[in-house]
Amino acid sequence: MNTNRLRTLWQEGKTAVNGWLAIPNGFSAEVMAHQGWDSLTVDLQHGVLDYPAMVQMLQGLSATRTVPVVRVPWLEPGILMKSLDAGASAVICPMVNTRDDCARLVAWTTYAPRGTRSFGPIRALLVHGADYPQQANQHIVRFAMIETAQALDNLDDILSVEGLDAIYIGPSDLSLALGCRPVFDDVDPPVQQAIDHILSRAQAHGIVAGIHNGTPEGALARAARGFRFVTVSSDARLLAAGSQQILSRMRAG
């Protein structure tokens, strides 16, 4: 099977530019994938997506080099395993707050004897190849979301779990957890301090740090600081922004 392109980019010291998919449609996902994103994340946690829509969206990505990522709704073994069976090459798991949470994430996404993932890669075999069962443990990228005060308290314990590849910061939830405004880029000082701390500790543990951003400028600034996975906008936001730009020009004229 092919090497996970996220791992290749990180080994080269590069930052992956990730887009977000919120529209439950295979064709819109396909259009996004053909624009050249390094990866695209199907978001099952928030919005209007369900599992059948996710499968169609992953199918839309298959003809491109874009890495298929799924953010699952919660730390729960069933949806993690089914997302991987559907062909996801990376999973982002929200609300990982303790070392035990992180250990479960790794175990549920890893085949025995190292983990407890159940075997049934129905679609993954089609898109990744016949050797998927032998290569899956090394191919899959596992992101733990750090977005709570409890996760901050347990940060080094979480980062020390063997098999964790990356962390992903949700600035809005982290801001709320610290009593601040829920924003992506222009975060309040306590949140910025927490983000800097998470990045520093992740780098110390050899773990890739990723983060959600609201603008390309914000993402570029964070990439310059050392983040190696930056999300910029979503299909729904791009559709709205493009429509607003056209309508503004037309009505002004």
Catalytic residues: 46
Token pair 């590069």: residue: 14
Which residue has tokens 């928030």?
Answer: 46
Do residues 110 and 162 make contact, with C-beta atoms less than 8 angstroms apart?
A: no
| Nearest alpha-carbon partner for 87 in 45, 43, 39, 54 | 54
**Backbone torsions φ then ψ of 19, nearest 5 degrees:** -105, 165
φ/ψ of 232, rounded to 5, equals -130, 110
CA 180/CA 124 separation, integer angstroms = 41
Torsion of CA 101, 160, 196, 213, to 10 degrees: -50
